[in-house]
Structure 1
Amino acid sequence: MERSGWLVLTASAGSLILVFLWKRSRERRHRVPCESWARWVMAKTDGSSLQAPLLLTGVPLGECTDRWSDTYLERIIGETKISVHISNTRFLDFAAKNFKYEIMTFQGFLRRIQSSSEGTFLYYRSQHQKRNKASSLDTLGSIADDFVMPRLLLDPFRVHSTVLRVASTGLCMWLHYDVCDNFLCCIRGRKRVVLFHPNDIDRLYVSGSSSAMGSRLLQKRGQTQLWKEFPLASAAWSRRLEVVLNAGDVLFIPSFWPHCTEALPSKGSRSSISVNTFLQRPEWASLHDPKDVWANRELLPAQEATKGMEKILPQLQELPPVPRAFYCRKMAAELLAMAN
């Protein structure tokens, strides 16, 4: 082979390798740090030491991990009326509202999950009987006694709410953030969680507390189209954290960490059961909105700042394009300087 031809082949091979490595780098998954409960107890004093996502394995959560079979739950709370999300796609999207609500008994809900044909997905999030109060397992009868969070994890937090979640296998919850810290406890089945650092909030197309991308980030196919629609999100995706929870695992999700979840298939069950315990740090207590039911109302000073921004936007719209862009960037620079 002539030297020129050999050089062309070598260059082509090098280019292919670079493309391969680039694609692999885009798919790099940064794992959430993991620690056994026994080891963590030996090293820590209380939950205040938690500042970043952490998976704790083998956490004692009471009798729920052994008891909460469909048969048991039907017997204890089967006649309780609940509101259920129902969708013909497994990728739930709060912005697009690609689901509907139906009222049914808890027994009917569980049986419908077991009998649902492929293409129907159900999801339940517990609520307080009074719409203006945060969720508590106490409203679901004696199953509240089965779930016990270790006191060591709860100190020195104030518990905002405790939420039971049950989902069809395969269901994906939309990308969102919470203003409370959160212990996500896997009771039955398996759950995948994808998290993003708060610094990537400007790349995730969030309005309110939910992303316009819904849960499409979790689709194995179609990301090329997703990046065309939401180009900034690609860089955030390359920096994501991922973890899979099994029964008895607890994931600490700090406030303001956007995250989405997927109920993974597990042997012998067509549903995933988990409990969220939302917490407020004592040093932030005065900042939280006392009317916050869902753990996603902005902190009070941020609410006032948002109102102020909404007032100035119409004034900026009155400017011609060049000065409007100038002042928007000038103000953005001042905000970013404060963020840094």
Structure 2
Amino acid sequence: MTEPQVALIAPAMAAALSRYLQRKQGLSGASANTVSAYASDLRDFLGFMTLHMGGLDTPRALGEIRQADMRAWMAYARGRDLSARALARKLSAVRGFARFIADEASIDISAILATRAPKHTRGLPRPLSATDARDVLDTVALQTRADWAGLRDVAVVTLLYGCGLRVSEALSLTGRDAPLPDVLRMTGKGGRERLVPVLPVARRAVADYLSACPHAQTPDLPLFRAIRGGALDRRHVARVMEATRLQLGLPASATPHALRHSFATHLLAKGGDLRAIQELLGHASLRSTQVYTAVDSTRLMDVYESAHPRARG
């Protein structure tokens, strides 16, 4: 089958997709990255169906899709080496768009809604040990030549591990947030606000960076600046973390986001309340936070199997 192209989508369908994405961002509070992912998934689906069915001229044509058509799309997607989890995400996007069109055009989308996502097992987060996390904080400054930039990278990483921030959240801070208060009000996924206590070590790390930063800080400019003064981007944080990981001999799972996992896992190991950790992470559902109990249990069994005399035979 020929690779679907965005240009194959009929103007009326493209307009409906645009309306849906605007609504998704406006009413659901979805982030720009989430909306972009939805757009890519839906254009891919509509491009395939346009070729497969010989045209989808209007949004009402979604009502003509049958389960055999959906199976053909899923087979095509799996043929592109998509994981079961990625395909389930695409199917979720398709269902959401189909419901939107059904509300607008009063069509039957039962074939789309009846399509089952492939089963997939949710992988457990892979946090760093407390020792490895401390080593990362001690080593990350060595990956950048300019001293002030090294202090900047330490400050970012400290916010990820010490406060459980996402990389995007740390980089969204502006000069208005400096000096860091005892508690930050963060807006995370889905527009959910949460209060995040800021440890003294994190406040000091940011203060040290700001005192050395050669770029003037103003309320509306990003707090974390690149070498030439622009906004620091997440690719730099990923590169610095990769260099640090290689220097320390840590596994590939030692990513910037793993520091957020480490924050949650280490809090839980110290007796932190699951509900409180949910609030600190900004999870909408406790189910998302409960995966860290599985991580803690897995680590406990690893220790048991390696140290208990009976376990060693």
What TM-score does the superposition give when structure 1 sets the normalisation length? Answer: 0.23
When the two structures are superposed, what TM-score results if normalisation uses the length of structure 2? Answer: 0.24
Between Structure 1 and Structure 2, which shows a larger proportion of strand residues? 1
User: Between Structure 1 and Structure 2, which shows a larger proportion of helix residues?
Assistant: 2
